[in-house]
Structure 1
């Protein structure tokens, strides 16, 4: 229990908060040298100063630096570091300056009085004459007064800790983010989470496709027992693996937020490499591309590429190297994607894995639709996307 009481005294933030309270009295102390009678003037001036938008930014950064255990970069401190955007923000900033001044003056008074009491107790214990300790007049010459010295020091320590917690709580209330700022931060956080989920989906599609192609190619090469086919299979594995490594590197750069330039993501213009990869695995892939792909916006084209990639991966994973038809059509303001493959076994239909779920989620995000299931004896994945789904 004693250690719990003493723990706050070992934290540096306890003393930076104490310093923060003293800094609040500097302006008032400077004014005393000019005019010690009209003390209401600095109070009024501080209130007017709080109406300046940039003051909220300066006060927020200083409060984060001295009141937060993690410094001025601590966005989770509950203290905003932004200029006033509304009159409500300015009013709270003005009130903060007044409260900070009042608590600072109280902190200075208590600190001086309690430290003085400790010194007076030592003087009363050592000197023969009487001594005034706080508001008490004590006779001098009693050595045991020295045993009471820890009492005002302990009271000062408790006051410093309590005042620091109080000023921090007030800072969070008066300098904390407004409702609009909290909403903006929530939207930004949501966008970050959506972006990370999208990246995770891309990584799943890219690496899943590469591994599926590698497994199918290796199995086909072993079964063929032909050196020429084995060479082609190894080449396809190498090319697919290299593309997957590029995607992995790009994703890791984004997740690390390194600030380094990130390579461009593949679009439908790069769909040929998907088709060639599937053909190299032994599948008979027939592609039909109609309409100008240049009309497809970047986000739709990139997501369309991932949809075709996942559909082909599902074909190789569940049906193997079977005849497959891929249709990419741009017409009437829409992008139509269709991947059909034969079903050598009824069990190959599947359709409950994360791949099809990812296709549906991508399509829904762009305002489109996706269907998957048996169609005329074949398995068909069909996706329709508006060309202006995202820009």
Structure 2
């Protein structure tokens, strides 16, 4: 089908036409009362299109009017399920919220007046174009002076069929292009206000931050559990000692249980479950991480100074995840090696340092810059601190500093 005929096959073309005509209903109702619609003069037509304006402006001052107009515009002016063309659905870009400011009310008033005037113009133009087409075919029974046409073309009957068809095509063109212009106007006048756009942007940002936080939670918790399980299984197979194997299975069980608790908590958040969600682990619970690492064969040397249990909640929870990822990184890339953990807390900040020997080149380690270490740096940045990771004096270091205020 030629491109210029395709709009005529879409239902949205005709819903737009109906939407434009509906905007003039109030004018015709008022005009029927005064000055009347029988043989109106030019002054009468001016009254018909001007008298309703104050009423529409007053209606626009009601906040709910903007919502009603937005819903109607979204339904009738933009392709949706009624478009009958696959892939034609569009984001209307029209707000469904009530007026929140005088600027919104003013834009709504302009929209209502635009609907009124364009609806009246569409009704009059449609009557003239289709009336002229019928007159050319000789289908009008009224006397020429009573048919309401503003201009006449000599000749009528079937010989004037090509000219009559031209007026019909002109009407179809008016329907198509006036509908498109009305949709553009709706986006400008009923589109989100700057405050609504900012609120939508903030909501989207919050959603992205929450998704990233959940991804980090799952990565750190599940990644730690799987790493411990892999290391323990390999060590148990190499040792071939029933007692060691039993201890390894206990460590895997304990780590897996903690990971399942973390997973259940995250899933409850995603489901927005009404059941209370258990608290996230904090640095006060770090002993279970250290026990898990020791059970995997790592020799962990710990030194803690300062009141860790008095740390602010966000700092303590994120610090736990950073320590978890640092220990997971040690087990994954270096295996059961000596680990030195130093945590120092004062009135202004917490400093956490995790160090372990670098694996020998023969170990085949190709990189240490995975998403886990990047997650540590991201967590520190979000809390206003900083984290550095990398080789330092023959060892691998994870150094974190977080402010407490």
C-alpha spacing 1:15/1:267, structure 2 compared with 1 (3 Å): farther
Counterparts of 2:254 and 2:302 in 1: how far apart (Å)? Answer: 20
Residue 139 (structure 1) shift = 4.5
Note the alpha carbon deviations across 1:103-137, whole angstroms, 9 max, x for none: 11112223333343454455449x9x999795335
Alignment length (residue pairs): 380
Matched, 1:320 2:319: no
Matched, 1:385 2:402: yes
Counterparts of 2:148 and 2:136 in 1: how far apart (Å)? Answer: 7
Q: Give the match for residue 48 of structure 1.
A: 58
Q: Give the match for residue 112 of structure 1.
A: 127
C-alpha spacing 1:228/1:158, structure 2 compared with 1 (3 Å): farther
TM-score (norm 2): 0.80
Contact 2:132 2:152 in 1 (8 A): no
Contact 2:79 2:90 in 1 (8 A): no
Q: Give the match for residue 354 of structure 1.
A: 371
SS in structure 2 at match of 1:69: coil
Range with greater deviation from structure 2 (184-193 or 261-270): 261-270
Note the alpha carbon deviations across 1:4-27, whole angstroms, 9 max, x for none: 223223333222222221221122
Counterparts of 2:161 and 2:265 in 1: how far apart (Å)? Answer: 69
Contact 1:295 1:387 in 2 (8 A): no
Contact 1:78 1:172 in 2 (8 A): yes
Contact 2:228 2:252 in 1 (8 A): yes
Matched, 1:217 2:222: no
Q: Give the match for residue 106 of structure 2.
A: 91
C-alpha spacing 1:253/1:102, structure 2 compared with 1 (3 Å): farther
Note the alpha carbon deviations across 1:207-234, whole angstroms, 9 max, x for none: 3323322221121111011233223333
Contact 1:55 1:83 in 2 (8 A): yes
Note the alpha carbon deviations across 1:279-299, whole angstroms, 9 max, x for none: 221222344455444533332
Note the alpha carbon deviations across 1:307-351, whole angstroms, 9 max, x for none: 011100111012211222334444313233232334463787965
Counterparts of 1:152 and 1:239 in 2: how far apart (Å)? Answer: 82
Which residue of 382, 385, 393 corresponds with 1:365? 382
Residue 75 (structure 1) shift = 9.9
Range with greater deviation from structure 2 (378-387 or 164-173): 378-387
Contact 1:124 1:139 in 2 (8 A): no
Matched, 1:275 2:287: no
C-alpha spacing 1:260/1:168, structure 2 compared with 1 (3 Å): farther
Matched, 1:136 2:152: yes
Contact 1:300 1:387 in 2 (8 A): yes
Counterparts of 2:4 and 2:267 in 1: how far apart (Å)? Answer: 45
Counterparts of 1:58 and 1:274 in 2: how far apart (Å)? Answer: 57
Range with greater deviation from structure 2 (91-100 or 325-334): 325-334
Range with greater deviation from structure 2 (239-248 or 27-36): 239-248
Note the alpha carbon deviations across 1:123-161, whole angstroms, 9 max, x for none: 449x9x999795335545x44445665444333322222
Residue 42 (structure 1) shift = 1.1
C-alpha spacing 1:27/1:215, structure 2 compared with 1 (3 Å): same
For 1:293-304, list aligned pairs within 5 A.
Answer: 293-304=308-319
Counterparts of 2:63 and 2:139 in 1: how far apart (Å)? Answer: 52
For 1:118-157, list aligned pairs within 5 A.
Answer: 118-124=133-139, 135-137=151-153, 139=155, 142-145=157-160, 150-157=165-172
C-alpha spacing 1:288/1:31, structure 2 compared with 1 (3 Å): farther
Contact 2:333 2:359 in 1 (8 A): no
Counterparts of 2:258 and 2:388 in 1: how far apart (Å)? Answer: 28
Q: Which runs of 5+ in 1 are unaligned?
A: none
Q: Give the match for residue 232 of structure 1.
A: 247
Note the alpha carbon deviations across 1:18-56, whole angstroms, 9 max, x for none: 222122112222222332254433112222332333322
Moved over 6 A (4+): 129-133, 346-350
Q: Give the match for residue 345 of structure 1.
A: 360
C-alpha spacing 1:271/1:14, structure 2 compared with 1 (3 Å): farther
Counterparts of 1:157 and 1:305 in 2: how far apart (Å)? Answer: 68
Q: Which runs of 5+ in 2 are unaligned?
A: 36-43, 82-88
Range with greater deviation from structure 2 (308-317 or 83-92): 83-92
